[in-house]
C-alpha cells in the first residue's frame, strides 16, 4: 500500500470518529499527532496535511494539531502521550507501533487512530480485526509475513552466503514478532540469521563494523522506524553488498542512485 493511501485512511478515520465531548472543551477540536519518526519526514507530513484538507479540515481554522516526534527515541513517547491526556486532546493519531502502544497505555477513553506494521491483536491494541473494541482503531501493514519474500529477494540480488546479518533495534516493540517470522522463513530457506543490534546512531556505526567482519555477502534491515529515520546513515556505510530495506524514502533513493552511478563509473575505469 502506498504511503499516500494509508495517510488518507488515517485522516478519513479521524474525520469519521466523533470527537469526545468534555466540559470546557476548546472551540476547535485538538488532535494529538504522536509519531515514532522524525519531523524531517517531510513527504509524510505533506501527505497528512493534504488529507486533512481533502476532508475539510484546515489547521488553525477548524482543527488544532499538536505534533510530538520521538525521533526514534521511544522512551520519549510515554511522556508525550501523557501530555496529550492531561491537555486533553480530542483524538490521538499514532504512527508506528511504539507510538501506538504508548498511546494505548496512556488512555482508555481518548480515541486512538493508528498505523502499525505488526499484528494489532497480538500486540493488544485491539480485541479483533472485525470488532476492535475499546478506544483504538486503525490499520496495519502486517510486514512480518513478508520476511520470507525479503530473504528471497536477497538471494535474487546475488547473495550466496547462508549467513544473513539482520540489523535490529532491540528497543522496538515490533522487533520480537518480526524476528520470529524471519527466523521461521530462514529455516525454510536453509539460512542462518545473525542479529546485530543498534538503537542509536553510534551503535549503527558499530553494528556495520561488526557486519563487515562476517562472512556474508548480504544484509537485511528490519522494519523499525528508527532505521527509517537513519536511512541516509545506513546507506552511507557503503558495505558494498546486496541490502534489502523495508521501505525507501526519496532522500535514500537519491543516495542509492548516486552510489550506483559511482560504482558504474569506478567499474568502467
The answer on 253 and 130 residing in a single domain is no
Domain end call among 140, 163, 186: 140
Q: Where does residue 250 rank: exposed (0-12), middle (13-18), buried (19+ CB within 10 A)?
A: exposed
d(CA 18, CA 254): 41
Q: Which three cell numbers stand for residue 68?
A: 510530538
Task: Kindly report the CATH number assigned to the domain that includes residue 150.
Answer: 3.40.50.2300
Looking at 109, 140, 171, the residue that finishes a domain is: 140
* 22 and 112 assigned to the same domain: yes
Which of 78, 113, 140 marks a domain boundary?
Answer: 140
Give pLDDT tens digits along the chain (269 positions). 455 555 555 556 655 555 544 445 456 899 999 999 888 765 678 888 888 899 899 898 999 999 999 988 999 999 999 999 999 999 999 999 999 999 999 999 999 999 888 889 988 999 998 889 899 999 887 766 778 888 998 888 888 899 999 999 998 887 888 898 899 999 999 999 999 999 999 999 999 999 989 988 889 999 888 888 888 788 766 677 888 887 655 444 454 444 444 444 444 44
Query: 118: domain range?
Result: 3-140
The confidence score (pLDDT) of residue 252 equals: 47
Q: How many domains does the chain contain in total?
A: 2
My answer on whether 13 and 126 are in the same domain is yes
pTM for the predicted model, two decimal places: 0.75
Amino acid at each position: 500500500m502506498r504511503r499516500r493511501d494509508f495517510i488518507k485512511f488515517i485522516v478519513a478515520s479521524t474525520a469519521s470518529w466523533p470527537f469526545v465531548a468534555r466540559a470546557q472543551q476548546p472551540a476547535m477540536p485538538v488532535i494529538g499527532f504522536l509519531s515514532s519518526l522524525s519531523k524531517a519526514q517531510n513527504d509524510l507530513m505533506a501527505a497528512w496535511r493534504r488529507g486533512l484538507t481533502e476532508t475539510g479540515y484546515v489547521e488553525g481554522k477548524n482543527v488544532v494539531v499538536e505534533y510530538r516526534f520521538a525521533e526514534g527515541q521511544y522512551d520519549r513517547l510515554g511522556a508525550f502521550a501523557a501530555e496529550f491526556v492531561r491537555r486533553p486532546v480530542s483524538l490521538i493519531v499514532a504512527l508506528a507501533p511504539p507510538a501506538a502502544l504508548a498511546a494505548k497505555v496512556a488512555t482508555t477513553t481518548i480515541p486512538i487512530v493508528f498505523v502499525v506494521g505488526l499484528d494489532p491483536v497480538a500486540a493488544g491494541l485491539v480485541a479483533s480485526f472485525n470488532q476492535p473494541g475499546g478506544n483504538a482503531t486503525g490499520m496495519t501493514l502486517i510486514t512480518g509475513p513478508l520476511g520470507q519474500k525479503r530473504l528471497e529477494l536477497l538471494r535474487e540480488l546475488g547473495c550466496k552466503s547462508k549467513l544473513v546479518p539482520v540489523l535490529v533495534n532491540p528497543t522496538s516493540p515490533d522487533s520480537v514478532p518480526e524476528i520470529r517470522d524471519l527466523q521461521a522463513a530462514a529455516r525454510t530457506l536453509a539460512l542462518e540469521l545473525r542479529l546485530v543490534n543498534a538503537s542509536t546512531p553510534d551503535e549503527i556505526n558499530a553494528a556495520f563494523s561488526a557486519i563487515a567482519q562476517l562472512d556474508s555477502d548480504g544484509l537485511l534491515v528490519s522494519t523499525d522506524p528508527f532505521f527509517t529515520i537513519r536511512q541516509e546513515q545506513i546507506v552511507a556505510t557503503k558495505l558494498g553488498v546486496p541490502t534489502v530495506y523495508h521501505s525507501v524514502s526519496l532522500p535514500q533513493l537519491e543516495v542509492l542512485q548516486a552510489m550506483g552511478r559511482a560504482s558504474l563509473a569506478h567499474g568502467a575505469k
